[in-house]
Protein backbone atom coordinates (compact mmCIF):
# COMPACT_ATOMS: atom_id res chain seq x y z
CA UNK A 1 0.00 0.00 0.00
CA UNK A 2 1.92 3.03 -1.20
CA UNK A 3 1.01 6.54 -0.06
CA UNK A 4 2.26 9.57 -1.98
CA UNK A 5 -0.69 11.90 -2.58
CA UNK A 6 -2.62 13.15 0.43
CA UNK A 7 -5.61 15.40 0.94
CA UNK A 8 -6.09 17.17 4.28
CA UNK A 9 -9.64 18.39 4.91
CA UNK A 10 -9.86 21.50 7.11
CA UNK A 11 -7.13 24.15 7.13
CA UNK A 12 -7.65 25.13 10.79
CA UNK A 13 -5.06 24.78 13.53
CA UNK A 14 -4.83 20.98 13.20
CA UNK A 15 -5.29 20.60 9.43
CA UNK A 16 -2.65 23.23 8.64
CA UNK A 17 -0.17 21.54 10.99
CA UNK A 18 -0.89 18.10 9.50
CA UNK A 19 -0.48 19.45 5.96
CA UNK A 20 2.82 21.08 6.97
CA UNK A 21 4.38 17.94 8.47
CA UNK A 22 3.20 15.80 5.53
CA UNK A 23 4.69 18.23 2.97
CA UNK A 24 7.91 18.44 5.02
CA UNK A 25 8.16 14.63 4.86
CA UNK A 26 7.97 14.75 1.03
CA UNK A 27 4.30 13.93 0.42
CA UNK A 28 2.20 15.85 -2.13
CA UNK A 29 -0.57 17.52 -0.17
CA UNK A 30 -3.86 19.09 -1.20
CA UNK A 31 -5.10 21.31 1.63
CA UNK A 32 -8.88 21.63 1.47
CA UNK A 33 -11.25 24.05 3.20
CA UNK A 34 -14.63 25.55 2.42
CA UNK A 35 -13.52 29.10 1.68
CA UNK A 36 -10.47 30.81 0.21
CA UNK A 37 -9.95 32.84 3.40
CA UNK A 38 -9.80 29.68 5.57
CA UNK A 39 -7.23 28.11 3.24
CA UNK A 40 -5.24 31.38 3.21
CA UNK A 41 -5.17 31.50 7.02
CA UNK A 42 -3.87 27.91 7.16
CA UNK A 43 -1.23 28.57 4.52
CA UNK A 44 -0.20 31.74 6.42
CA UNK A 45 0.44 29.69 9.58
CA UNK A 46 2.44 27.09 7.63
CA UNK A 47 4.56 29.77 5.93
CA UNK A 48 5.27 31.44 9.30
CA UNK A 49 6.31 28.11 10.87
CA UNK A 50 8.60 27.27 7.94
CA UNK A 51 10.18 30.75 7.99
CA UNK A 52 10.95 30.23 11.69
CA UNK A 53 12.66 26.95 10.79
CA UNK A 54 14.79 28.83 8.24
CA UNK A 55 15.66 31.57 10.79
CA UNK A 56 16.65 28.90 13.32
CA UNK A 57 18.88 27.14 10.75
CA UNK A 58 16.75 23.98 10.72
CA UNK A 59 15.88 24.38 7.02
CA UNK A 60 17.25 26.31 4.03
CA UNK A 61 15.21 28.85 2.06
CA UNK A 62 15.13 26.48 -0.93
CA UNK A 63 13.91 23.59 1.27
CA UNK A 64 11.15 25.87 2.53
CA UNK A 65 10.15 26.68 -1.07
CA UNK A 66 10.18 22.97 -1.95
CA UNK A 67 7.83 22.22 0.99
CA UNK A 68 5.47 25.02 -0.08
CA UNK A 69 5.68 23.69 -3.67
CA UNK A 70 4.29 20.33 -2.50
CA UNK A 71 1.21 22.06 -1.02
CA UNK A 72 -1.79 22.74 -3.28
CA UNK A 73 -4.93 24.70 -2.55
CA UNK A 74 -8.26 22.86 -2.72
CA UNK A 75 -11.71 24.37 -2.29
CA UNK A 76 -13.54 21.38 -3.79
CA UNK A 77 -13.82 17.95 -2.16
CA UNK A 78 -13.86 16.39 -5.66
CA UNK A 79 -10.09 17.02 -5.68
CA UNK A 80 -9.89 13.79 -3.61
CA UNK A 81 -10.31 11.83 -6.86
CA UNK A 82 -6.61 10.97 -7.24
CA UNK A 83 -5.25 10.74 -3.68
CA UNK A 84 -3.99 7.71 -1.74
CA UNK A 85 -4.92 9.02 1.71
CA UNK A 86 -7.34 11.61 3.08
CA UNK A 87 -6.84 13.00 6.60
CA UNK A 88 -10.00 14.76 7.73
CA UNK A 89 -9.52 17.57 10.29
CA UNK A 90 -12.81 19.49 10.07
CA UNK A 91 -14.85 20.43 13.15
CA UNK A 92 -15.52 17.91 15.94
CA UNK A 93 -19.10 17.14 14.96
CA UNK A 94 -20.37 13.70 13.95
CA UNK A 95 -22.89 14.81 11.34
CA UNK A 96 -20.34 17.12 9.62
CA UNK A 97 -17.74 14.35 9.59
CA UNK A 98 -20.19 11.68 8.39
CA UNK A 99 -21.27 13.92 5.50
CA UNK A 100 -17.60 14.39 4.53
CA UNK A 101 -16.85 10.63 4.74
CA UNK A 102 -19.90 9.78 2.63
CA UNK A 103 -18.74 12.18 -0.10
CA UNK A 104 -15.13 10.99 0.12
CA UNK A 105 -16.23 7.37 -0.25
CA UNK A 106 -17.88 8.26 -3.56
CA UNK A 107 -14.99 10.44 -4.83
CA UNK A 108 -11.68 8.92 -3.63
CA UNK A 109 -10.03 6.05 -5.57
CA UNK A 110 -10.98 2.54 -4.41
CA UNK A 111 -7.54 1.96 -2.83
CA UNK A 112 -7.56 5.24 -0.83
CA UNK A 113 -7.46 5.21 2.98
CA UNK A 114 -9.85 7.59 4.77
CA UNK A 115 -8.44 8.78 8.10
CA UNK A 116 -9.92 11.14 10.68
CA UNK A 117 -8.05 13.37 13.13
CA UNK A 118 -11.12 13.31 15.39
CA UNK A 119 -10.35 13.91 19.07
CA UNK A 120 -13.03 11.61 20.40
CA UNK A 121 -15.73 10.53 17.93
CA UNK A 122 -16.10 6.79 17.18
CA UNK A 123 -14.13 5.78 14.07
CA UNK A 124 -16.52 2.83 13.62
CA UNK A 125 -19.46 5.25 13.15
CA UNK A 126 -17.54 7.19 10.49
CA UNK A 127 -16.60 3.92 8.77
CA UNK A 128 -20.24 2.80 8.79
CA UNK A 129 -21.32 5.52 6.33
CA UNK A 130 -18.77 4.28 3.77
CA UNK A 131 -18.52 1.17 1.62
CA UNK A 132 -14.90 0.69 2.69
CA UNK A 133 -14.98 0.39 6.52
CA UNK A 134 -11.78 -1.68 6.48
CA UNK A 135 -9.98 1.38 4.99
CA UNK A 136 -11.20 3.86 7.63
CA UNK A 137 -8.91 4.67 10.58
CA UNK A 138 -8.23 7.32 13.24
CA UNK A 139 -5.03 9.34 12.98
CA UNK A 140 -5.09 11.60 16.03
CA UNK A 141 -2.34 14.22 15.95
CA UNK A 142 -1.63 16.47 18.95
CA UNK A 143 -1.59 20.25 19.00
CA UNK A 144 0.72 21.96 17.97
CA UNK A 145 1.27 19.32 15.29
CA UNK A 146 4.78 20.41 14.19
CA UNK A 147 6.02 20.10 17.79
CA UNK A 148 4.19 17.16 19.40
CA UNK A 149 5.56 13.67 18.77
CA UNK A 150 2.47 11.53 19.37
CA UNK A 151 -0.02 10.22 16.81
CA UNK A 152 -2.71 8.07 18.44
CA UNK A 153 -3.76 5.55 15.77
CA UNK A 154 -7.26 4.25 16.29
CA UNK A 155 -8.49 1.01 14.85
CA UNK A 156 -12.19 1.01 13.99
CA UNK A 157 -14.05 -2.27 14.42
CA UNK A 158 -13.43 -3.20 10.77
CA UNK A 159 -10.01 -1.54 10.12
CA UNK A 160 -7.76 -4.06 8.31
CA UNK A 161 -4.25 -4.94 9.49
CA UNK A 162 -2.80 -3.77 6.14
CA UNK A 163 -4.38 -0.35 6.54
CA UNK A 164 -3.19 -0.10 10.16
CA UNK A 165 0.36 -1.00 9.05
CA UNK A 166 0.33 1.55 6.19
CA UNK A 167 -0.71 4.33 8.59
CA UNK A 168 1.83 3.29 11.21
CA UNK A 169 4.60 3.35 8.57
CA UNK A 170 3.43 6.72 7.26
CA UNK A 171 3.39 8.16 10.82
CA UNK A 172 7.03 7.14 11.26
CA UNK A 173 7.90 8.87 7.97
CA UNK A 174 6.47 12.05 9.54
CA UNK A 175 8.99 11.53 12.37
CA UNK A 176 6.12 11.01 14.81
CA UNK A 177 5.60 8.20 17.29
CA UNK A 178 2.54 6.00 16.60
CA UNK A 179 0.60 4.53 19.53
CA UNK A 180 -2.10 1.95 18.78
CA UNK A 181 -5.43 2.24 20.58
CA UNK A 182 -8.91 0.79 20.19
CA UNK A 183 -12.09 2.64 19.34
CA UNK A 184 -13.75 3.91 22.55
CA UNK A 185 -15.04 7.43 23.23
CA UNK A 186 -12.11 9.81 23.71
CA UNK A 187 -9.66 6.97 22.88
CA UNK A 188 -6.82 7.27 25.43
CA UNK A 189 -5.56 10.87 25.12
CA UNK A 190 -8.82 12.71 25.65
CA UNK A 191 -10.39 10.17 28.01
CA UNK A 192 -7.65 11.15 30.44
CA UNK A 193 -6.87 14.78 29.48
CA UNK A 194 -10.36 16.22 29.01
CA UNK A 195 -11.89 15.22 32.40
CA UNK A 196 -8.87 16.95 33.98
CA UNK A 197 -9.57 20.13 32.00
CA UNK A 198 -13.32 19.89 32.78
CA UNK A 199 -12.50 19.49 36.50
CA UNK A 200 -10.29 22.59 36.33
CA UNK A 201 -13.28 24.49 34.87
CA UNK A 202 -15.51 23.20 37.71
CA UNK A 203 -12.85 24.36 40.17
CA UNK A 204 -13.12 27.86 38.69
CA UNK A 205 -16.95 27.67 38.48
CA UNK A 206 -17.24 26.70 42.15
CA UNK A 207 -14.95 29.55 43.21
CA UNK A 208 -12.24 27.35 44.70
CA UNK A 209 -9.58 29.59 43.15
CA UNK A 210 -9.13 32.09 40.34
CA UNK A 211 -7.96 31.06 36.87
CA UNK A 212 -4.34 32.09 37.36
CA UNK A 213 -4.13 30.15 40.64
CA UNK A 214 -5.59 26.99 39.07
CA UNK A 215 -3.13 27.16 36.19
CA UNK A 216 -0.19 27.89 38.53
CA UNK A 217 -0.99 24.87 40.71
CA UNK A 218 -0.85 22.50 37.74
CA UNK A 219 2.13 24.22 36.06
CA UNK A 220 4.35 24.63 39.10
CA UNK A 221 3.04 21.69 41.13
CA UNK A 222 2.80 19.05 38.41
CA UNK A 223 5.26 20.42 35.86
CA UNK A 224 2.61 20.68 33.14
CA UNK A 225 3.89 23.01 30.36
CA UNK A 226 0.55 24.89 30.36
CA UNK A 227 -2.10 25.18 33.05
CA UNK A 228 -5.39 23.38 32.21
CA UNK A 229 -7.37 26.59 31.53
CA UNK A 230 -4.64 27.96 29.24
CA UNK A 231 -4.54 24.57 27.51
CA UNK A 232 -8.34 24.60 27.07
CA UNK A 233 -8.10 28.03 25.41
CA UNK A 234 -5.29 26.69 23.21
CA UNK A 235 -7.26 23.58 22.14
CA UNK A 236 -10.50 25.57 21.57
CA UNK A 237 -13.41 25.57 24.04
CA UNK A 238 -15.82 24.34 21.33
CA UNK A 239 -13.60 21.30 20.77
CA UNK A 240 -13.33 20.71 24.55
CA UNK A 241 -17.14 20.81 24.88
CA UNK A 242 -17.69 18.43 21.94
CA UNK A 243 -15.21 15.97 23.47
CA UNK A 244 -16.89 16.10 26.91
CA UNK A 245 -20.27 15.56 25.26
CA UNK A 246 -18.90 12.54 23.39
CA UNK A 247 -17.56 11.06 26.65
CA UNK A 248 -20.81 11.83 28.51
CA UNK A 249 -23.01 10.32 25.82
CA UNK A 250 -20.67 7.43 24.99
CA UNK A 251 -20.29 6.17 28.56
CA UNK A 252 -23.60 7.44 29.99
CA UNK A 253 -21.76 8.35 33.19
CA UNK A 254 -22.39 11.63 35.04
CA UNK A 255 -18.69 11.93 35.88
CA UNK A 256 -18.22 13.24 32.32
CA UNK A 257 -20.89 15.99 32.62
CA UNK A 258 -19.53 19.09 30.85
CA UNK A 259 -19.16 22.03 33.26
CA UNK A 260 -21.97 24.61 32.75
CA UNK A 261 -19.33 27.36 32.62
CA UNK A 262 -17.75 25.66 29.59
CA UNK A 263 -21.16 25.59 27.85
CA UNK A 264 -21.74 29.24 28.69
CA UNK A 265 -18.41 30.35 27.21
CA UNK A 266 -19.01 28.38 24.01
CA UNK A 267 -22.52 29.87 23.68
CA UNK A 268 -20.98 33.33 24.11
CA UNK A 269 -18.56 32.62 21.25
CA UNK A 270 -15.61 32.70 23.67
CA UNK A 271 -13.83 29.77 22.05
CA UNK A 272 -10.33 30.51 23.35
CA UNK A 273 -7.22 31.70 21.57
CA UNK A 274 -8.71 31.30 18.08
CA UNK A 275 -11.47 33.86 18.77
CA UNK A 276 -9.33 36.15 20.96
CA UNK A 277 -11.15 35.32 24.20
CA UNK A 278 -11.71 32.26 26.35
CA UNK A 279 -10.69 32.00 30.00
CA UNK A 280 -8.07 34.59 29.08
CA UNK A 281 -8.04 37.50 26.62
CA UNK A 282 -5.64 37.36 23.65
CA UNK A 283 -4.58 40.48 21.74
If binding means CB under 6 A, how many residues of this protein chain bind ligand NAD? 26
Whether 88 is catalytic is: no
- Nearer Cβ to ligand CAA (80/193): 193
Give me the half-sphere count of Cα atoms (radius 13 Å) on the Cβ side of residue 276.
1
- Burial grade of 29 (CB within 10 A; 0-12, 13-18, 19 or more): buried
Q: Does 14 bind ligand NAD (CB under 6 A)?
A: yes
**Contacted entry of ligand NAD, ligand CAA, none for residue 10, CB cut-off 5 to 8 Å set by kind:** ligand NAD
Q: Does 16 bind ligand CAA (CB under 6 A)?
A: no
Q: Does 148 bind ligand CAA (CB under 6 A)?
A: yes
How far, in Å, CA of 234 to CA of 230, rounded? 6
Whether 111 is catalytic is: no
Q: What is the 8-class DSSP label of residue 185? A: T
Whether 168 is catalytic is: no
Among residues 49, 74, 116, 119, the one annotated as catalytic is: 119
Interacting positions 230-269 with ligand CAA (CB under 6 A): 231, 235, 239
Q: What is the 8-class DSSP label of residue 281? A: B
Q: Does 46 bind ligand CAA (CB under 6 A)?
A: no
Which of residues 146, 186, 228, 236 is near ligand NAD by CB under 6 A?
236
Bridge partners, 30 (sequence order):
7, 72
How far, in Å, CA of 142 to CA of 38, rounded? 20
**Contacted entry of ligand NAD, ligand CAA, none for residue 144, CB cut-off 5 to 8 Å set by kind:** ligand CAA
Strand order in the sheet with 28-32: 71-74, 28-32, 5-9, 85-88, 113-116, 136-141, 150-155, 177-182
What string of DSSP letters covers 216-238? Answer: HHHHHHH--SS-HHHHHHHH-HH
Q: What is the 8-class DSSP label of residue 175? A: T
The bridge status of strand 150-155 relative to strand 136-141 is antiparallel
Using CB under 6 A as the criterion, which residues of the chain lie in contact with ligand CAA when the complex forms?
A: 49, 52, 56, 119, 142-144, 146-148, 189-190, 193, 225-226, 231, 235, 239
Catalytic residue set: 119, 140, 152, 190
Using CB under 6 A as the criterion, which residues of the chain lie in contact with ligand NAD when the complex forms?
A: 9-15, 32-34, 38, 89-92, 96, 100, 117-119, 141, 143, 235-236, 239, 274
Amino acid sequence: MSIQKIMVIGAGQMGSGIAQVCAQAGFDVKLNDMKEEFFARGLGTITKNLSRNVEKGRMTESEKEAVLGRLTKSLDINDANDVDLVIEAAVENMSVKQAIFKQLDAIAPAHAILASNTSSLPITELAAVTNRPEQVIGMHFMNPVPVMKLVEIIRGLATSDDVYQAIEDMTKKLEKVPVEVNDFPGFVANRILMPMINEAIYTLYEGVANKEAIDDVMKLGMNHPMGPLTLADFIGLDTCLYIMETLHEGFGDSKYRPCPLLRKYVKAGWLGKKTGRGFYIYE
